[in-house]
Amino acid sequence: MYQSPIADWHQEHHARLVEFAGWDMPVQYSTIVEEHHRVRSAAGLFDVSHMGRLTFTGPDSGKFLDFMLTCSVESMRCGQVRYSLMCREDGGILDDVLVYRTANEWQLVVNASNRLRIIEWLDRFRSEYIVSIEDRTFATAMFALQGPRSPDVLEVCFPKLPEQLKRYSCCEVSSAQFGEVFVSRTGYTGEDGFEFVASADSAEALWTAILLADKNVGVVPAGLGSRNTLRLEAGMPLYGSELNEDTDPLTAGLGFAVKLDGGDFVGRDRLQQIDRSSITRKRVGLILEGRRIVRDHCPIQLDSVEVGSTTSGTFSPTLDKSIAMAMLETSALVGSQPVSVILRNTPVVARVVPLPFYSRS
């Protein structure tokens, strides 16, 4: 099983470790709810070293990624980050990714469970391009600082960087203490936040420095458990739940990341066909009566007829309500009638709501 470069730190600080996509990763340190609230109110630090980190060099790097991804890549400015999808020819989603443009290379962060097959998929198409791909996942560590106070913390570690680094941008920072650190400003929680990629050798020093940077903020280590409840409240899809090879980006509500009127890319013809036709399913939010937690693939009924299924669910610590995301037939969205989620053969009333469930105003 793979381990993070700071696996020893996690064990020494009594993290509960679980297997995730072949990695031994912390799911929680205290409680999921406590870590969740801390991210919403101040800041939490996540070890996301399991995410795949690929770099692309060579004169055709931008052109190659422009063909492989649904977003417009070649139009990106140096220091820009974009969310995108990688699709099959039939429009099915292979992964959702972040693509970064720097002065000397392009970078791609992919989901841990998809890293190897994405590399294989890229290899299928790159023979016609002058591009080299390097997998830096095991040579580096990746951390995510999330929460409304995260700019205060970053200011201590890297002065003046928060005001220079806008949302969905990135830069490289040289540090005598940590070496070269790649910093971006995106996030997966619905809060402001920053990501750090550093060499595996300097990972623990950087992790510790971020945690101790601002005692007034009190950054806490947070595990993958709260990362999931936070992203669900923020209405952000998860590959393997909301996204998969049987779902296309338009049905998943991710049309903003698809350049249908731009250049060619893998899956474009099929997505244009879907766009011209009527989309029959839609990703929606559900708020359930009571406190029972929804699991994946629970049937959803309207007037005793099945009209969809849940994709993921949790009990929202912020809203104090049971919430879920689901794929529903668009015919079931006419009007405002409630639906029934079938939990262990018991129907539970739910109302359809727009996503996200939570956003910071």
Asked if 4 contacts 25 with a C-beta cutoff of 8 angstroms, the reply is: yes
Structure tokens at 192: 């402001």
In a domain, 242, yes or no: no
Q: Are residues 146 and 112 in the same domain?
A: no
Instruction: Give the CATH number, domain containing residue 87.
Output: 3.30.70.1400
In a domain, 43, yes or no: yes
In a domain, 246, yes or no: no
pLDDT at 303: 93
Closest C-alpha among 146, 210, 152, 151 to residue 177 = 210
Structural domain ending residue among the three candidates 114, 135, 156: 135
Q: Are residues 47 and 155 in the same domain?
A: yes
Structural domain ending residue among the three candidates 111, 135, 159: 135
Q: Are residues 64 and 42 in the same domain?
A: no
In a domain, 256, yes or no: no
Q: Are residues 68 and 188 in the same domain?
A: no
Structural domain ending residue among the three candidates 199, 233, 267: 233
Closest C-alpha among 319, 178, 157, 221 to residue 10 = 221
Q: Are residues 126 and 94 in the same domain?
A: yes
Instruction: Give the CATH number, domain containing residue 15.
Output: 3.30.1360.120
Q: Over its length of 361 residues, how does the chain's per-residue pLDDT go in tens digits? A: 999 999 999 999 999 999 999 999 999 999 999 999 999 999 999 999 999 999 999 999 999 999 999 999 999 999 999 999 999 999 999 999 999 999 999 999 999 999 999 999 999 999 999 999 999 999 999 999 999 999 999 999 999 898 899 999 999 999 888 999 999 999 999 999 999 999 999 999 999 999 999 888 899 999 999 999 999 999 999 999 999 999 999 999 999 999 999 899 999 999 999 999 989 999 999 999 999 999 999 999 999 999 999 999 999 999 999 999 999 999 999 878 899 999 999 999 999 999 999 998 7
CA separation for the pair 262, 247 (Å, rounded): 21
CA separation for the pair 257, 71 (Å, rounded): 5
Q: Are residues 85 and 115 in the same domain?
A: yes
CA separation for the pair 224, 25 (Å, rounded): 8
Instruction: Give the CATH number, domain containing residue 286.
Output: 2.40.30.110
Task: Give Cα separations from 326 to 55, 103, 285, 318 (angstroms).
Answer: 34, 40, 6, 20
Structure tokens at 60: 């055709």
Q: Are residues 34 and 143 in the same domain?
A: yes
Q: Which residues of 99-138 are buried (b: 16+ CB within 10 A; e: fewer)?
A: bbbeeeebbbbbbbbbbeebeebbeeebeebebebeebbe
In a domain, 268, yes or no: no
CA separation for the pair 14, 42 (Å, rounded): 22
Closest C-alpha among 195, 199, 197 to residue 145 = 195
In a domain, 8, yes or no: yes
In a domain, 254, yes or no: no
Closest C-alpha among 235, 240, 255, 206 to residue 359 = 235
Domain count, the chain: 3
Residue that has been written with the tokens 């903003």 in this structure: 256
HSE value, Cβ hemisphere, 13 Å, CA-based, for 90: 5
Note the pTM of the prediction, 2 decimals.
Answer: 0.96
In a domain, 274, yes or no: no
Q: Are residues 125 and 87 in the same domain?
A: yes
CA separation for the pair 45, 146 (Å, rounded): 6
CA separation for the pair 32, 38 (Å, rounded): 10
Structural domain of residue 31, as residue ranges? 2-51+138-233
Q: Are residues 34 and 142 in the same domain?
A: yes
CA separation for the pair 248, 267 (Å, rounded): 9
Whole-angstrom Cα Rg for the chain: 21
Q: Are residues 154 and 217 in the same domain?
A: yes
Q: Are residues 212 and 339 in the same domain?
A: no
Asked if 229 contacts 321 with a C-beta cutoff of 8 angstroms, the reply is: no
Asked if 108 contacts 281 with a C-beta cutoff of 8 angstroms, the reply is: no
Q: Are residues 13 and 57 in the same domain?
A: no
